[in-house]
Structure 1
Amino acid sequence: MTETLFDLPQVPGIPVKGETATYPIGRIFCVGRNYAAHAAEMGVEVDREKPFYFMKSPASAVLSGARVPYPPGTGNFHYEMELVIAIGAPVFRVTREAASAAIYAYGCALDMTRRDLQLSERAKQRPWSLGKDFDNSAVFAPLTKAENMMAVADQRIHLEVNGETRQDATLDELIWKIDEIIAHLSGFYHLRPGDLIMTGTPAGVGPVQAGDVLTGGIDGLDPIELTLTPAE
């Protein structure tokens, strides 16, 4: 094996209920505007022709229970509570009917967003990377294997800030369903184990500050928690 010049920081693996080994993080795909009410609160319309995506790097990942500093470069830091899909089998150009077989597990996730940077870049038709892909911006709770969870239907998805409910919806509000997302995305990528798909957030997103504690959950899955500490 070729020796590298230096070692990169290790990306955390996500715990899996019932397993001693963790799920390694490869790529993080994120579905945009997948709840109509959230799109409306952001002042945009849902594209019902096809889903669209952005990505977060594995280096952005942190596990539930972490304490992370308020990020630099923003004055409008938002939470987005989401269902995440963990891929467990390689698929390429898969059909909707076969898509579910590629799912290894489900989990709760937070897509933390520097909203002011996202919106300013969007207004200039530039990529959203500064607003979406940064340290500690992808938060993952322990995963539950698909075989141990009921099919995704009308489970409640919710988020609280300091105990006050801010997001409260059900998964049947997803515009693009799980099998549709996997089938569509596999038309552009060879999906493989280690790939995570964050499926979008419901309405109720908003700002948080240093000192805030975020908690959230989805029926049947391990809950998620994040504490914000002062900026560095």
Structure 2
Amino acid sequence: MGRNYAAHAAELDNPVPEEPLLFIKPATAAVPMAEPIRLPRGRGGCHFEGELALLIGDPLSGANPADIPGAIAGLGLALDLTLRELQGQLKKQGHPWEKAKGFDGACPLSPFVKLDWQPDWDNLTYSLWLNGELRQRGKTGHMLTPILDLVAYISSHFTLLPGDVVLTGTPAGVGELLSGDRLVLQLEDDWLRVETQVA
């Protein structure tokens, strides 16, 4: 999901979409977040975007928001790595973003917290620190399209299958990654904490 937080759209001088803005990363983009992040060489600056990730556990097609909670198997965190200059060029040309967001390793994923209870979907908080500095704090209550509505919307356009991962958008505070940078991502206060480093 792109531009699901108004403040992030504003920081990149992007308009707020009137409906959810979707793009897809291939399976080869997904890598364990605990492994070192390897930035593409010679392709411009690579930005981090911390996001709440949903692990789909049951098929969803044309679902209603009420159908969604039971189909989410786990909660995790993700980095939507983005080649920002390339993305800007693609946007100017009216082209899709996948070359800027779907490269190998472009989606580091944390482990997933198994959902054997129903969280308050509109009151979840996650954070990202870069080299010890808090850079992003996302609150699901600030999303333009709430989680359950977002997953239902996606399922109205294409079927979600078990093992699919939905990234729900990034809050403000994104920035460029450099070799040696250390990142810490945390879900709530104690549900999940993961550390990674740029190679």
Match of 1:124 among 78, 84, 93: 93
Give the match for residue 5 of structure 2: 35
Q: Distance in 2 between matches of 1:101 and 1:202?
A: 26
SS at match of 1:186: helix
Q: Max radius of gyration: which structure? A: 1
Give the match for residue 5 of structure 1: none
Q: Please list every run of at least 4 consecutive aligned residues from structure 1 whose deviation after the TM superposition is greater than 6 angstroms.
A: none
Which digits, 9 at most, give the CA deviation of each residue in 1:7-56, with x for residues without a partner?
A: xxxxxxxxxxxxxxxxxxxxxxxx010001001111112123x2121111
Q: Distance in 2 between matches of 1:84 and 1:68?
A: 18
Could you tell me the TM-score, scaled by structure 2's length?
Answer: 0.93
Task: Count how many residue pairs are aligned between Structure 1 and Structure 2.
Answer: 198
Which digits, 9 at most, give the CA deviation of each residue in 1:80-105, with x for residues without a partner?
A: 00001111111211111222221111
Q: Distance in 1 between matches of 2:176 and 2:105?
A: 16
Q: Is 1:70 aligned to residue 39 of structure 2?
A: yes
Which digits, 9 at most, give the CA deviation of each residue in 1:156-186, with x for residues without a partner?
A: 2211111111112322111111111111111
Aligned-pair distance for 1:149? 5.9
Q: Distance in 1 between matches of 2:50 and 2:165?
A: 15
Match of 1:99 among 68, 84, 87: 68
Distance 1:126 1:153, change over 3 A: same
**Alpha-carbon contact 1:143-1:221 (below 8 Å) kept:** no
Which digits, 9 at most, give the CA deviation of each residue in 1:131-161, with x for residues without a partner?
A: 1011211011110122246222333221111
Aligned-pair distance for 1:225? 2.4
For the aligned residues, what is the CA RMSD?
1.5
**Alpha-carbon contact 2:140-2:147 (below 8 Å) kept:** no
SS at match of 1:119: helix
Aligned pairs for 1:1-232 (under 5 A) are 31-48=1-18, 50-148=19-117, 150-219=119-188, 220-229=190-199
Bigger Cα displacement from structure 2, 218-227 vs 98-107: 218-227
Q: Distance in 1 between matches of 2:131 and 2:159?
A: 40
SS at match of 1:217: strand
Aligned-pair distance for 1:212? 0.6
Q: Distance in 2 between matches of 1:145 and 1:185?
A: 22
Could you tell me the TM-score, scaled by structure 1's length?
Answer: 0.81
Q: Distance in 1 between matches of 2:5 and 2:150?
A: 13
Question: Partner amino acid for 1:158?
Answer: S
Q: Distance in 1 between matches of 2:165 and 2:120?
A: 18
**Alpha-carbon contact 1:161-1:214 (below 8 Å) kept:** yes
Give the match for residue 21 of structure 1: none
**Alpha-carbon contact 1:90-1:190 (below 8 Å) kept:** yes
SS at match of 1:147: coil
Bigger Cα displacement from structure 2, 180-189 vs 152-161: 152-161
